[in-house]
Structure 1
C-alpha cells in the first residue's frame, strides 16, 4: 500500500456539490425574485381589502424570507465571480 504525501492531497481539485453550482444558484436567484414579486402583490392586495389587512403578515414573512435568500445568493455569486470563477 502506497502512502500519499501531504503535498499530493493539497493540490487536487476540490469537489463542488450540485447545489453549489452556478446554474443552481442562478435558478435559485430567479425563483426567489419571482417569490418576492408575488409577495409584493400579496401585500398590495391585502392593503386594498380591509378583510385581509389582519393577514398581511403572511406575504410580509414570505417576502422577507425571499429577500434573505436573494441577498445571500447574490453575495455568493458576486464572491465567486470576483475571485475568477473556478
Structure 2
C-alpha cells in the first residue's frame, strides 16, 4: 500500500497486511540501527515527541533510518504512518 493509496482509500487494510507492514518497518528499523551513531536513539525519540505535539501516533508508526554511502554522505529517512482522519 503506497502513501497515496492510504489517502485515496476509505477501506481499512486487512489485519494481516497491516501486521506485515509493521513487521517490515521493525525489521528495517533494527537493521538501520546496527551502524548508527550513539546519538541516534535519542534523536529518534525527540523526533517522535515533536510529531506527537501535532498528531497522535505510536512509536511503531515511525521509522527513522540513517543511510551512509561511500562519499561520506549521510541521509536521514523518516517515515510516519499517519492515522486516518476521523
Same fold flag (TM > 0.5): no
**Bigger radius of gyration, 1 or 2?**
1
Q: TM-score, normalised by structure 1?
A: 0.32
Return the structure number with greater helix share: 1
Relative contact order (C-alpha < 8 Å, sep 6+): which is higher? 1
Q: TM-score, normalised by structure 2?
A: 0.32
Return the structure number with greater strand share: 2
